[in-house]
Structure 1
Amino acid sequence: MFMLRVYSLPIILLNLVVAVFCADKYSREDFPPGFVFGSGTSAYQVEGAASEDGRSPSIWDTFSHEGKMDGETGDVSVDEYHKYKEDVKLMVETGLEAYRFSISWPRLIPNGRGPVNPKAVRYYNSLINELISHGIQPHVTIYHYDHPQALEDEYGGWLSRKIVKDFTAFADVCFREFGDRVLYWTTLNEPNVFPLFSYDVGMLPPNRCSFPFGLNCSQGNSTSEPYLVAHHLLLAHASAVRLYRKKYQSKQLGFVGINLYAFATYPLTNSTEDVLATQRANDYFVGLIANPVVFGSYPDIVKKNAGSRLPTFTNQEYKQVKGSFDFLGINHYMSIHVKDNSASLKSEYRDFLADMAVEMIADIDSSKYEFPIQPSGMQASLEYFKQAYGNPPIYIHENGQRTRRTSSLEDTSRVKYMHGYIGSVLDAIRNGSNTRGYFTWSFLDVFELLGGYEPCFGLYYVDINDPQLKRHAKLSAHWYSQFLKGRPVSSDSDGLIKLGKDFSLLSRRS
């Protein structure tokens, strides 16, 4: 999950007006036929078993073991590797229709290339079969920030074009081993975030940056590496999609897409400068990935401001990248405002953020840990993709409320958040958005890539100090279950209080 900080980047709302009120009372039946509701996690964040059954270290193992997460690691996390049957049972009880998870590259192909780990194949087959046997769709992300450390050591991971071939081979194994049962594939998670946080400001592995743009990095180049990495991510994505379409899609009948992080973004003022800055921010942040896969080329403003630091596509690459998706996945959590900062363009030595030339202002109350509840931002984001990119099929892969870790199960702020944002999705659909699914982040309280075990997004609390890592349903799990099982839900405060009382009684009886 992508968390806002000083360097955060935007998705912009174009020059359009979107309704600010979301549906208040609605039910599962109000959504179109075929629309799917689920929840999600990712491999390093949930599996644990970091050194078991042939798995090798990923860049996240290295990063966390170097103390970069205040001593916290995903070595055990919530141990879904051993507890997946228990978790699927909880999914069934909750009423989930789909589960989004990722496949660990260093577990499946420990050296990054070459021999496939049969124990990993067995594990993912077991998980997928368990889901399907209970009527839950598996939605699989191939890469979620965790390539093998072996490839990082050998040639620099995403800094090298060599990774395109290795990633394609990894995807090939996934399609071959699991594609007869997996119909929804996402090649990459947030390739618009990974280059910035990992290669510009250096706050995520492989922890590369250069002064003065990032801190605490021993190596890197913030001015060029984010663009290079983004380019290689796009080439790898397009290569995997080409492989799937050529070799598997006609037989397996599945769909393949790519995932983007999306803010709802508004100009701070109605000045021409701030309006243009918001468009520029959108072109830089979302357009860096979305424009190539939809139109075949980078946005003009990115080409202009980055200059020779931005790689170019060959004619063959252009043809492969353009149209390389069946759907777009969207991760959305909050709204922000954008202020022009064109002065940053006067510096000859610039990173990605300076090239963007904007100042981000978060709509966050610093006295509160939770995200503000701004459901109209969800509709604004979906409306933007509808207008700017031809209304492609959209799956909302992540949306959820952050709270501090606590044993209290009455997470009323998460319930209010989910109610508002799901209602906003419904409004967007009624306004013509081609949105086809919604997944909460996250199913369990997991190891968060920004914050470790303090921030929690789960429907289920996991006591990480309990040797059994017992799962405990929160009020939000109960609310989501009520919704998924067809009962009308609303934001009525009295109803929420009653739900909380009923849930407490149910919890005690169980």
Structure 2
Amino acid sequence: MEPEHAEQRGPKHFRHEFPTDFVFGAATSAFQIEGAVNEDGRGKTGRRSHGVNEKGIAFYNVLIDDLIANGITPYVTLFHWDLPQYLEDEYSGFLNHKIVEDFRGYADLCFEKFGDRVKHWITLNEPWTYSFYGYGLGTLAPGRGHTSNFKMSYLMDFIPSSRYVSPQSFMRKRTVTTTFGGLGKAVSDKEGGNTTEDSGNPGTEPYIVSHHQLLAHAEAVKLYRDKYQKTQNGKIGITLVSRWFMARTHSTSDRNAAERAIDFMFLDPVTSGQYPRSMRSIVKERLPKFTEAESKMLKGSFDFIGLNYYTTNYAAHAPDVDTLNPHVATDRMGGSSWLFVYPKGFMDLLLYIKTKYNNPSIYVTENGIDEKTDATLPLWESLSDHKRVSYHHHHLCFLKKATREYGINVRGYFTWSLLDNFEWASGVFVRFGNIYVDYKDKCKRYPKLSAEWFKLHLPKIEPRKSDVDGPDS
């Protein structure tokens, strides 16, 4: 089957082909679609002791009730990077251990007010991304980390001494070469890190922020299990950003680079109570340590793992890379330079997690591809998102194989995203949505081809035998 025409060949996926009670959905983020930042009592608070915005509670009560009334099961993320400004101003947010108690109080309020209807809670969305881009590169809020004082050789050892290139595209027969720097230690023009008080230190702060996010997660999970889970009968987990890495060559150094790249900074702590060995050996004293009690609280602190998967990269050992020019790509299938299409990497990643982490319950909480906003296109052409249809088709093919042939415990699949939205540093210049938003005409919404494709290919009714177009190719 030619991928470009996959959507024209008739239904290829049916709900009954996935595990019993498997869920399909579309993801959003409140900050990225809601707007109205000054409406209904919103303000610079963030601590429960400072009072509760009852209008905000009422808004989400109506939203949750409307979802359920329309046959939609809510999966709720507590923190998707929208830190209250008050807490950032008071004590620098996740840089301070105080955030752990405030996050616990916020989670307690949400469990209390919404837990009678919300049965799937996610504590944090992509804590690695929040730490790395907010405190390492400085391209997301609060914009700390990378400054002119730091050489371009990169910041930290989040994925140490490796460089990435994307694998041969699944969609075209050209090799993509994109480089993401050395990801080595923080290097400053002056010994000792940052040289400006407000710029932050990308060699230490991302680890501190990550550490506090993990502790906040663990406290929220403990609270839910101790106080609410028995009566509310819900589940709680964490969503992690993920990508698959393959060694660029068969050399030992490249294989080691791939292994370091695959190491999960957050999945290891919530399964074992400790950071990965590779992190501990390279980051050394810059990596905060868990107390015995914290480690015990972290270990097993999930009922399910959310995975946000978009892309795959090669990894190669590159200890001397000294530039942060991140990519030179020749086959960019997405509107973002980091997103390359390689659906098999999706299954490879799931197999790795099954083997290393004892086959945990997984929800694919984000999967999708974007296109750049092009104001010159007519509406009909903007709605014809054939690449997105092909992307989802092939990822679902490998997801089916992962669950049916390898017994990987994936329980659900959510597309990113329901709507075109505000994509953080990219603004509205890229579009991930299955629904088109016309920003020039009062944000009117139009279903794209991908939305119609999901309706056609994943019907709730069982298909007749004659409707099924043979085995997947």
TM-score of the superposed pair, with normalisation by structure 2:
0.80
Partner of 1:315: 292
Matched, 1:128 2:105: no
Q: 2:94 aligns with which of 146, 158, 169?
A: 158
Q: 1:36 aligns with which of 9, 19, 23?
A: 23
Cα distance in structure 2, aligned partners of 1:289 and 1:208? 21
Structure 2 vs 1, CA of residues 47 and 187 (structure 1 numbering), >3 Å: closer, same or farther? same
Matched, 1:433 2:420: no
Shift of 1:127: 0.4
- Is residue 12–residue 469 contact of structure 2 (8 Å, CA) maintained in 1? yes
Q: 1:175 aligns with which of 97, 106, 111?
A: 111
Paired residue secondary structure (1:138): coil
Partner of 1:324: 301
Cα distance in structure 2, aligned partners of 1:169 and 1:261? 25
Partner of 1:379: 347
- Is residue 247–residue 258 contact of structure 2 (8 Å, CA) maintained in 1? yes
Partner of 1:365: 331
- Is residue 419–residue 490 contact of structure 1 (8 Å, CA) maintained in 2? no
1:58-77 CA distance string (max 9 Å, x none) = xxxxxxxxxxxxxxxxxxxx
Structure 2 vs 1, CA of residues 253 and 490 (structure 1 numbering), >3 Å: closer, same or farther? same
Structure 2 vs 1, CA of residues 362 and 246 (structure 1 numbering), >3 Å: closer, same or farther? farther
Paired residue secondary structure (1:220): coil
Shift of 1:111: 5.3
Cα distance in structure 1, aligned partners of 2:344 and 2:326? 19
Partner of 1:335: 312
Structure 2: gaps (5+ residues): 1-10, 156-193
Partner of 2:419: 444
Matched, 1:402 2:370: yes
1:353-381 CA distance string (max 9 Å, x none) = 99xxxx98898614863744321111111
- Is residue 224–residue 309 contact of structure 1 (8 Å, CA) maintained in 2? yes
Cα distance in structure 2, aligned partners of 1:458 and 1:278? 31
Question: How much is the aligned-residue C-alpha RMSD, in angstroms?
Answer: 2.6
Structure 2: which amino acid aligns with 1:269? T
- Is residue 104–residue 219 contact of structure 2 (8 Å, CA) maintained in 1? yes
- Is residue 335–residue 362 contact of structure 1 (8 Å, CA) maintained in 2? no
- Is residue 338–residue 361 contact of structure 1 (8 Å, CA) maintained in 2? no
Identity over aligned residues, as a percent? 44
Matched, 1:268 2:268: no
Matched, 1:298 2:275: yes
Structure 1: which amino acid aligns with 2:234? G
- Is residue 336–residue 360 contact of structure 1 (8 Å, CA) maintained in 2? no
Cα distance in structure 2, aligned partners of 1:36 and 1:362? 37
Structure 2: which amino acid aligns with 1:335? T
Between the two proteins, the alignment pairs up a number of residues equal to: 403
Structure 2 vs 1, CA of residues 296 and 317 (structure 1 numbering), >3 Å: closer, same or farther? same
Structure 1: which amino acid aligns with 2:422? F
- Is residue 142–residue 187 contact of structure 1 (8 Å, CA) maintained in 2? yes
- Is residue 112–residue 150 contact of structure 1 (8 Å, CA) maintained in 2? no
Cα distance in structure 1, aligned partners of 2:29 and 2:396? 22
Cα distance in structure 2, aligned partners of 1:404 and 1:360? 19
Matched, 1:239 2:210: no
Structure 2: which amino acid aligns with 1:202? G
Shift of 1:432: 1.1
Structure 2: which amino acid aligns with 1:391? N
Partner of 2:361: 393
Cα distance in structure 2, aligned partners of 1:405 and 1:339? 33
- Is residue 337–residue 363 contact of structure 1 (8 Å, CA) maintained in 2? no
Matched, 1:417 2:391: yes
1:361-416 CA distance string (max 9 Å, x none) = 89861486374432111111111111111110000000011112253211111111
Shift of 1:164: 0.1
Partner of 2:139: 203
Structure 2 vs 1, CA of residues 239 and 270 (structure 1 numbering), >3 Å: closer, same or farther? same
- Is residue 339–residue 361 contact of structure 1 (8 Å, CA) maintained in 2? no
Structure 2 vs 1, CA of residues 320 and 470 (structure 1 numbering), >3 Å: closer, same or farther? same
Partner of 1:506: none
1:462-498 CA distance string (max 9 Å, x none) = 111112x211011000001112315668799xxxxxx
- Is residue 337–residue 362 contact of structure 1 (8 Å, CA) maintained in 2? no
Structure 2: which amino acid aligns with 1:465? K
Structure 1: gaps (5+ residues): 1-23, 58-108, 348-352, 493-510
Shift of 1:25: 3.1
Partner of 2:188: none
> Quick check: which one's helix share is greater?
1
Partner of 1:11: none
Paired residue secondary structure (1:410): coil
- Is residue 334–residue 369 contact of structure 2 (8 Å, CA) maintained in 1? no
Partner of 1:496: none
Q: 2:82 aligns with which of 143, 146, 170?
A: 146
Cα distance in structure 2, aligned partners of 1:260 and 1:115? 31
Partner of 1:482: 456
Partner of 1:101: none
Cα distance in structure 1, aligned partners of 2:333 and 2:205? 36
Shift >3 Å, 4+ stretches: 109-113, 213-218, 359-364, 366-373, 486-492
Cα distance in structure 2, aligned partners of 1:179 and 1:31? 28
Structure 2: which amino acid aligns with 1:384? Y
TM-score of the superposed pair, with normalisation by structure 1:
0.75
Cα distance in structure 2, aligned partners of 1:335 and 1:143? 26
- Is residue 110–residue 116 contact of structure 1 (8 Å, CA) maintained in 2? no
